[in-house]
Amino acid sequence: MASLLSWIKSFSGLILVLFYIAATSNGYIVDLTLVTNHPLLDPPNTRDQYIGAYLGQKDASIRDCITFHRIIRTGDTTNLPNYINIVNEGQRIRKLIFEQSNQTKASGAFHTAFEYEGTTRNTSTVVLMHNATILPEQTTLTVHEGEDVTLDVVTNVDDFRWRFNGDVVPDSRRKQSLTLENVQLNQAGVYKCFVVGNRWDAGNAILLLHVVKCPAYRWGSECEHTCNECLNGGKCDVDSGECVCPPGFNGTTCEHGRFYTLGPLRVETLA
**What is the spatial distance between Cα 211 and Cα 234, in angstroms, rounded to a whole number?**
17
Domain 1-131 adopts which CATH fold? Answer: Immunoglobulin-like (2.60.40)
**Cα(57)–Cα(40) distance, integer angstroms:** 29
**What per-residue confidence (pLDDT) applies to 29?**
53
- Cβ contacts of 235 within 8 Å, gap of 6 or more: 5, 7, 243, 244
Q: Are 151 and 180 in contact (CB under 8 A)?
A: yes
Residue 34 dihedral angles phi and psi, to the nearest 5° = -105, 125
205-214 b/e (C-beta count within 10 Å ≥ 16 → b): bbbbbbbbbb
Is the pTM for the entire model greater than 0.85? Answer: no
The pLDDT of residue 236 is 84
Domain with CATH 2.60.40.10 in the chain: 1-131, 133-212
101 SS3 class: helix
Mean pLDDT by groups of 10 residues along the chain of 271 residues: 31 42 49 74 69 72 81 64 82 82 73 73 79 88 90 93 91 95 92 85 84 87 90 82 75 71 40 29
> What pLDDT was estimated at residue 101?
63
Structural domain 133-212, CATH architecture: Sandwich (2.60)
**Would you state the pLDDT for residue 265?**
40
pLDDT of residue 16: 44
Q: What is the DSSP string of 190-236?
A: EEEEEETT-TT-TTSEEEEEEEESS-TTEESTTS-EEPPP--TT-EE
Going by C-alpha positions, the residue among 133, 128, 153 that lies closest to residue 42 is 128
Q: Report the pLDDT value the prediction gives residue 6, as an integer from 0 to 100.
A: 34
Residue 33, number of CB atoms within 10 A of its CB: 21
User: Residues 8, 21: contact at Cβ < 8 Å?
Assistant: no
